[in-house]
Amino acid sequence: ETGVTQTPRHLVMGMTNKKSLKCEQHLGHNAMYWYKQSAKKPLELMFVYNFKEQTENNSVPSRFSPECPNSSHLFLHLHTLQPEDSALYLCASSQQNALSDEQYFGPGTRLTVT
């Protein structure tokens, strides 16, 4: 266990559905991240939050909407997704930011869009 939990672990949704992914860290970290991992592609950084403020948005489509209500919780709200959005979505946290700190990853949510 890394101290980072994600729910649900698996999610199947239709293109018209709205769902949310949840991430929680019990490590007292100040930075949290969302990554997308597709088959045969490198891990893609989607969003970065430092002290609850979003500091990075790597040109992610607006159908992905992050929310960080406090430094321990991070959500990824999904709506009108496309089949190509099917992937493993990983949450991570670090003490400050990734430039100088190691990241602790959750187990991921395997998302399938039908």
Phi-psi region of 28 (alpha: psi -120 to 50; beta: other; left: phi over 0): left
Chain residues that interact with other proteins, rule: CB under 8 A? 2, 4, 6, 41-43, 45, 48, 55-56, 88, 90, 92, 98-108, 110
DSSP letters, 67-109, are: EEEETTEEEEEEES--GGG-EEEEEEEESS-TTTS--EE---E
CB of 3 to other proteins, least distance (A): 11
CB of 64 to other proteins, least distance (A): 18
CB of 88 to other proteins, least distance (A): 7
Q: Which is nearer to other proteins, 65 or 97 (CB)?
A: 97
Q: Which is nearer to other proteins, 18 or 55 (CB)?
A: 55
For strand 10-13 and strand 109-113, is the pairing parallel, antiparallel, or unpaired?
parallel
